[in-house]
Amino acid sequence: MSYGPDYAIGWGSLALINAGIAQGKNRSGLNWFLISLLFGPIATLFLVAFCEKY
């Protein structure tokens, strides 16, 4: 199965969005960016559903 450049652009964009959400919740944007590169949408779900702003 071959994934085109659109897949990589979408995955990278999601990682950047997650980093922004994490910073808004006083979390490390860099750490969440790296986590998102590995886990993608699962990291988004966890970040939005379980990480509270403190």
What DSSP assignment string belongs to 7-27? HHHHHHHHHHHHHHHHHHTTS
The domain limits of the chain are: 5-50
Give the predicted TM-score (pTM) of the model.
0.85
pLDDT (tens digit, 0 to 9) for every residue of the chain, 54 residues total?
Answer: 677 788 889 999 999 999 999 999 999 999 999 999 999 999 999 999 998 877
